[in-house]
Amino acid sequence: MSVVTIERVDTIALRIPYDHWAPKPTFGGIARETMDCLLLRVTASNGLIGWGEAFWGGWQATQAAIEHWVAPLSIGQDVADVGMTARFERALHNFGRSGPYVYALAGLDIALWDLRGKLAGVPVHALLGGRRRDRVAVYASLLQYNGDVERVRRTVDRALEDGFGHIKLHERTAAAAMAARDVAGPDIPLMVDANCAWLPEQATAAVGAMAAADLKWMEEPIWPPEDFAALAAVRRATGVATAIGENAGSPLDFPKMIAADCVDYVQPSVIKIGGLTPLWRITTEAEQAGVTCAPHSPFFGPGYLATVHVLAATARESALERFYCELAYDPCGHVVPIAGGRVEVPDAPGLGGDPDFEAMQKFRA
C-alpha cells in the first residue's frame, strides 16, 4: 500500500448563535454571544478529508498556532504515523506546555484518527478495541443562570421533557442545586460545576451546603484547580464526590490527582489535552486505578464525536456531556442525534460522519 500523506491543513472558525432561554452568560469576562468552534480540515494525498477540532476558548491564538506552525510541520507527513503529534509536541515544547499549541495538536490528532479510520474502513471505536455498548447516555449540561432559581427550575424541567436522564448545573448556590433536585426528583443523577469558584478556605462550607442535593459529583470547586491537596480535604470533609481535569495542563497531571485521592471522576478534554491519543491513555490508566473517566465535552464538532467513541469503547460506563442549548448550526448533530437522552454509537468509518461543509459557511468567523 502506498503511503498516504498530509497534503494540506485548513482551519475553519465558526461563531454559532445559540439560545439557552436566558440572558447570555459571560465567558472570559465578556458576554458569550456565540458558541465558537475551531475546526481543522486535513486533506490527505489520496483526497480523503479528516476533520479535527481544537479548543474554542481564545481560538484566535490557536488558529494562528495551526496556520503558522502545526500546518507547515504536518505537510508531507505519513497519516499512519501514530507518533506524529507527540513528536510535534516535543518540537514545539518551548512554545508552551499547554494552551494554544497543545490545543492545535489536539485538533490535528483528532483529524488523524478520523483519517486512519477512513483509510482502514472502520469506525474509530474499532481502533480503540471495539465498542462495548451500542448507545451512550447524554447529560444535559446547563449553561449558567447565575443563581436565577426560577430559570434553573424551568430549564431542568425542559431537559427532563427532552428525555435527558442526567443533569449538570453551572451554578454556585445551594438554593440552585436544591431547586434542581426538587424538579428532577430523587432518581436523576445531578452534578454541579462551580468552575473553580472558591478558595480552599471557602470551599468546604460551599460544597457542604450542597450536599443535601445529593450530587453525583461536585466539579472544580477549588481555585486554583491544581491544588489537589485542598480538593482532597474538601472531599474528605464533605463526603461529596468530586470531578476535575478539564483544566489539567498535561496528561501527567491525571495520575497525580488520582494519587492525591482528591477525585472520583477525571475529566480530560479531548480538544485541550492534546487529542484522542492522550484522552484514551488517560481513560484507560484511570480505569486501572479504579477511577471513572467522564470527559469534558461542551463542544459540538469532531472532538465531540471523538468523545463518543471513547465512551463507547471504555470499560467504565459514563455519560456524554452536552451543552444544553439550541444551536443555529450543529456541526455533528446529524451524526449522533440525541434521542431519549442517548446517542447511537456511529459505525461509519472514522469518526462516523463529517460536519456539513456547505451549511457551515454562513457561520464562519
| Interface positions with Mg ion (CB under 5 A) | 193
φ, ψ of residue 354 in degrees (nearest 5): -95, 150
* Cell 472570559 found at: 28
In sequence order, which ranges of 185-227 are alpha helices (DSSP H)? 200-210
Residue 267 CB, shortest distance to Mg ion, in Å, is: 7
For 77, residues 6+ apart whose C-beta sits below 8 A from its C-beta are 5, 6, 84
State which residue, 197 or 209, has the beta carbon closest to Mg ion: 197
Give the up-direction half-sphere exposure of residue 75: CA atoms within 13 A in the CB hemisphere. Answer: 10
Q: Which of 225, 169, 233, 216 is nearest to 197 (CA)?
A: 225
* Rounded distance between C-alpha atoms, residue 182 and residue 156, angstroms: 10
Burial state string for 131-152 with b = 16 or more CB within 10 A and e = fewer than 16: beeeebbbbbbbbbbbebbebb
Residue 55 CB, shortest distance to Mg ion, in Å, is: 13
Angle at 72 between CA 70 and CA 78, to 5 degrees: 85
State which residue, 37 or 143, has the beta carbon closest to Mg ion: 143
Residue 363 CB, shortest distance to Mg ion, in Å, is: 24
* Rounded distance between C-alpha atoms, residue 330 and residue 309, angstroms: 18
Amino acid at 361: Q
State which residue, 245 or 352, has the beta carbon closest to Mg ion: 245
Whether the Cβ atoms of residue 320 and residue 138 lie closer than 8 Å to each other = yes
Residue 195 CB, shortest distance to Mg ion, in Å, is: 6
State which residue, 88 or 198, has the beta carbon closest to Mg ion: 198
Distances (CA, A) of 127 to 79, 91, 122, 202, 277: 15, 27, 8, 45, 11
Residue 220 CB, shortest distance to Mg ion, in Å, is: 6
DSSP readout, 258-309? HHTT--SEE--BTTTTTSHHHHHHHHHHHHHTT-EE--B----SHHHHHHHH
Residue showing the smallest CB distance to Mg ion in the complex:
193
State which residue, 124 or 191, has the beta carbon closest to Mg ion: 191
* Rounded distance between C-alpha atoms, residue 307 and residue 300, angstroms: 11
State which residue, 77 or 195, has the beta carbon closest to Mg ion: 195
State which residue, 171 or 193, has the beta carbon closest to Mg ion: 193
State which residue, 56 or 69, has the beta carbon closest to Mg ion: 56
